[in-house]
Structure 1
């Protein structure tokens, strides 16, 4: 967990995520259904405004975090299966994600 969160001495986490500009491009220019990352958040680690979350989720797109083996998924031609449980009133939750091609 320490390596994964990469927190500094002040507790600020450092890991990559989408920039707001990239999220806007994907949502508005590419009309993606959603985005996913293998890190803890769609936003960069030290984010305090979570602008990427607001952009993506506010456009009624999905955001998947903590995905594994993304490097093995082809850039096109696959199908993503995401099976979330129903959690009433939750803003997010665990799910099982499979990519097939």
Structure 2
């Protein structure tokens, strides 16, 4: 039987709002030091071939992207192994901009999670927890976005390892997201938060945009990550859906 949105969402989609959480891809995007450069090259033209096509070269973890457990865990699930159901998840957004404007290396703590829940309620099971640091506003300035200092250390806020373990074990989250280039603080070369979330077989979203358009609770994310067999992620179109109501 053919299914319509009216059969999926109670009340239809009249109140549906879509928030684009994706930075456009081009040659000016901030690239992780040493990673592949973005290249879009014409392979056919209207004048010669009657149509236009390009070849595309871009790192798996460039632009707005998703990352999978095999990024850090040998034998962990790769980007071709996640089901469609795992890529449509409820989101909660933790806005820590008031703290990151004072400390660019700020690390989310268990106490921060507890304080957030005191205001918005317990994080629903299966949610993807998004950290809104304000770094999305730095996207067009690579120097500011990476915060590289004279010792070649990067600086941006992120999740603390203890907070990640708490979210995984106590709230059974689906994954983590952030508007920076990594869920770990930029100065954490041990990638402790990444190790914790990937060992728990969860996904990560990085370089998100448009987080000011999402509420603290109530959005549904659609993660358009490429199913690359053996891949550790890919650039992704990430959309936030608001006003869905009850999902049957």
TM-score per shorter chain, which class? Answer: over 0.9
Structure 1: gaps (5+ residues) = none
Greater strand share, structure number = 2
Aligned to 2:164, the other structure's residue is in SS state helix
- Tell me, in whole angstroms, the C-alpha distance in 1 between the residues paired with 2:191 and 2:235: 20
The alpha carbon displacement at 1:42 in A equals: 0.6
Q: By how many angstroms is 1:76 displaced?
A: 1.6
| CA distance in 1: counterparts of 2:202 and 2:229, whole angstroms | 19
Residue of structure 1 in register with 2:177 after alignment: 36
Equivalent residue for 2:213? Answer: 72
Displaced runs of 4+ in structure 1, greater than 3 A?
none
Unpaired segments ≥5 residues, structure 2: 1-141, 243-248
Does residue 1:63 correspond to 2:204, yes or no? yes
> Aligned partners of 2:195 and 2:233: how far apart in 1?
13
Partner of 1:81: 222
CA RMSD of aligned residues (A): 1.1
1:3 counterpart = 2:147: no
Cα displacement (A) at 1:84: 0.7
**Whose radius of gyration is greater, 1 or 2?**
2
Aligned residue for 2:217, secondary structure, equals coil
- RCO higher in 1 or 2 (8 Å CA, sep ≥ 6)? 2
Matches within 5 A, 1:84-95: 84-95=225-236
Partners of 1:23 and 1:71 in 2: CA distance:
23
What's the offset of the Cα at 1:4? Answer: 0.6
Deviation at 1:78, TM superposition (A): 1.4
User: 1:67 Cα deviation (Å)?
Assistant: 0.4
2:3 corresponding residue in structure 1 = none
Aligned residues: 101
Distance 2:238 2:200 in 1: 21
**Alignment partners' CA distance in 2, 1:73 and 1:23:** 21
Q: Distance in 2 between matches of 1:88 and 1:15?
A: 31
